[in-house]
């Protein structure tokens, strides 16, 4: 949980301990057994050529649905300062996640530290909803309410828009009232620092304030938390990672290669912080995504954090189900494709599903039966998405639609009533 004002840190630690940290009630023998179990799984994971489980093989892809909970009565998207943030702002956040979790070279998510790890986890906006319908992976829900509390409103927010947490990572973007940046549910898993059981499915996801979602665009254009790292941090929690200082002075995050720290980096700059936890002075890893550092400081997950995440994905029932279910929701397109939904139909019914193997530009051109151009729209730096005919300036009648992207041209007929 990240805070704007560090004066509330005690409240955060108390809330986290009271609701999600089960170490205080676990018998010592059981705790030792868990620790040995986790160590065996980590050793298997780190041993070259050993594949402990399907969820640990290769790159893991996580399907995401972003629920925008807004108070924009007109429904207009991307107004200045509006909680109904733009698609482009959402796209920028997905890019940040994939840069950070893949330690992508040439991006702010890269580091050259020996302990710096590529977590081999990627995130993509879901292309199908729970019922198999084409989707952009974005939902928008109007609610005449200015803000929400992470302590009392999460169930209500989930009731407004939610997809099955056994198949999707739910991310709710909303106004958290200017105090909290975000909140991520921990998984249930029989390893150090986590409760045995998964949290309630309805709220098992991430809640992020609309002003810190995305990178340097829209409502996240300014400030020290405007580079999209709040979501990186909260997904770290969702995957079982603990704050680097263990939520107490010289606490334990159960990752050996993150230096023990007396406290979090609660400053507004990337200043070095030193701790004396083991009798010698050591530098805190303020660059770690699981600290409270300003966004621009962050660029490190470690190898032990990666091993812990992979262990969680093996032992947490819901996280494991999500990863295994994701194989049925993964993008199947190695090249671009165009699918027309509800054809023939009215402008309110017809939509165009654009399937892309990566973020890229594409265009839609429309022609009448005589070959005359009757509509055109360019889309810059998009992932796979769904474009509604009602949002395009096209006439009714028999039309030819052409999708063009990176040397690929796809032409289809569409009948608009």
pLDDT tens for residues 389-404? 999 999 999 999 999 9
Neighbours of 215 (CB within 10 A): 20
Strand pairing category for 180-184 and 2-3: antiparallel
Catalytic residue positions?
234
b/e for 324-346, b at 16 or more Cβ within 10 A? Answer: eebeebebeeeebbbbbbebebe
Which among 140, 206, 209, 170 has a CA at the least distance from the CA of 65?
A: 170
Token couple for 61:
């892809």
* Per-residue pLDDT at 57 exceeds 80: no
pLDDT of 41: 52
pLDDT of residue 92: 98
What does the pLDDT look like over 329-350, one tens digit per residue?
A: 776 667 899 999 999 999 999 9
Which DSSP letter does residue 322 get?
A: H
166/319 Cα distance (integer angstroms): 7
The secondary structure of residue 86, as a DSSP letter, is: -
CB of 387 closer than 8 Å to CB of 352: yes
CB atoms within 10 A of CB 241: 27
- Least confidently predicted of 15-24, 288-297, 400-409: 15-24
In the predicted structure, residue 8 carries a pLDDT above the cut 80: no
Report d(CA 196, CA 166) in Å as an integer: 17
Per residue in 166-198, is it b (16+ CB within 10 Å) or e — as a string? Answer: bbbbbbbbbbbeeebbbbbbbbbbbbbbbbeeb
397-405 vs 360-367, strand pairing mode: antiparallel
Percent of the chain with pLDDT over 90: 79
Spatial CA neighbour of 66 closest among 389, 327, 383 = 383
Mean pLDDT in residue range 34-59: 52
Distance of alpha carbon 79 from alpha carbon 84, whole angstroms: 7
Nearest alpha-carbon partner for 85 in 73, 77, 97: 77
Any residues with CB less than 8 A from the CB of 136 and at least 6 apart, and which?
87, 125, 384, 385, 386
For 216-259, how does the pLDDT look when each residue is reduced to its tens digit (9 = 90+)?
999 999 999 999 999 999 999 999 999 999 999 999 999 999 99
Bridge-based pairing of strands 60-70 and 169-174 is: parallel
The whole-number pLDDT of residue 331 equals 65
Give tens-digit pLDDT for 98-153.
999 999 999 999 999 998 999 999 999 999 999 999 999 999 999 999 999 999 99
Q: Of 301, 170, 141, whose CA–CA distance to 233 is shortest? A: 301
- Of residues 30 and 8, the one with the higher pLDDT is 30
Phi, psi of 93 (to 5 degrees): -70, -40
pLDDT tens per residue across span 199-216: 999 999 999 999 999 999
Dist. CA 70–CA 144, nearest whole Å: 8
DSSP for 141-191, please give it. Answer: EE-S-S---TTTSHHHHHHHS---TTT-EEEEEE--TTTEEEEEPPPP-SS
**Contact between residue 172 and residue 150 where contact means Cβ atoms under 8 Å apart:** no
pTM reported for the whole predicted model: 0.86
- Which secondary-structure segment (H or E) carries 307? helix 303-315
In the chain, what are the domains? 2-326 (3.40.390.10), 337-416 (2.60.40.1930)
Looking at the chain, the whole-number percentage of residues with pLDDT higher than 70 is: 86
- Give the containing element (helix H, strand E) for 374: strand 373-382
Give 390's DSSP letter. G
């Amino acid at each position: 949980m990240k805070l704007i004002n560090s004066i509330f840190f005690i409240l955060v630690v108390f809330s986290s301990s009271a609701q999600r940290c089960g170490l205080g009630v676990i018998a010592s023998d059981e705790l030792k057994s868990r620790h040995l179990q986790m160590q065996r799984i980590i050793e298997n994971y780190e041993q070259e050529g050993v594949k402990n489980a399907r969820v640990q093989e290769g790159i893991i892809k996580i399907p995401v649905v972003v629920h925008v909970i807004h108070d924009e009565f007109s429904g207009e998207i991307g107004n200045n300062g509006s909680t109904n943030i733009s698609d482009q702002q959402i796209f920028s956040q997905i890019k940040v996640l994939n840069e950070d979790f893949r330690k992508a070279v040439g991006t702010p998510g890269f580091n050259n530290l020996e302990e710096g790890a590529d977590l081999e986890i990627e995130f993509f906006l879901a292309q199908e909803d729970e019922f198999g319908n084409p989707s952009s992976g974005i939902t928008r829900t109007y609610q005449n309410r200015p803000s929400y509390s992470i302590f009392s409103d999460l169930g209500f927010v989930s009731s407004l828009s939610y997809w099955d947490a056994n198949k999707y990572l739910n991310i709710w973007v909303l106004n958290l009232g200017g105090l909290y940046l975000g909140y991520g549910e921990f998984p249930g898993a029989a390893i150090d620092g986590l409760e045995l059981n998964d949290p309630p499915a309805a709220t098992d996801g991430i809640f992020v304030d609309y002003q810190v979602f995305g990178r340097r665009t829209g409502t996240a254009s300014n400030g020290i938390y405007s580079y999209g790292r709040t979501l990186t941090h909260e997904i770290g929690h969702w995957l079982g990672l603990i704050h680097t200082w263990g939520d107490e002075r010289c606490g334990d995050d159960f990752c050996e290669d993150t230096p023990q720290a007396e406290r979090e980096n609660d400053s507004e700059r990337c200043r070095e912080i030193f701790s004396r936890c083991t009798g010698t002075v050591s530098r805190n890893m303020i660059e770690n995504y699981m600290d409270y550092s300003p966004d621009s400081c962050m660029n490190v997950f470690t190898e032990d954090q990666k091993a812990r995440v992979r262990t969680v994905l093996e032992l947490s029932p819901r996280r494991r189900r999500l990863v295994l279910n994701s194989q049925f929701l993964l993008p199947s397109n190695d090249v671009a494709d165009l699918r027309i939904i509800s054809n023939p139909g009215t402008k309110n019914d017809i939509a165009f599903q654009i399937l892309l193997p990566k973020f890229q530009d594409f265009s839609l051109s429309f022609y009448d039966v005589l070959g005359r151009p009757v509509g055109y729209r360019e889309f810059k730096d998009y992932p796979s998405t769904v474009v509604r005919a009602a949002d395009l300036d096209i006439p009714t009648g028999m039309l030819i639609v052409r999708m063009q992207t990176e040397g690929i041209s796809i032409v289809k007929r569409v009948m608009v009533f």
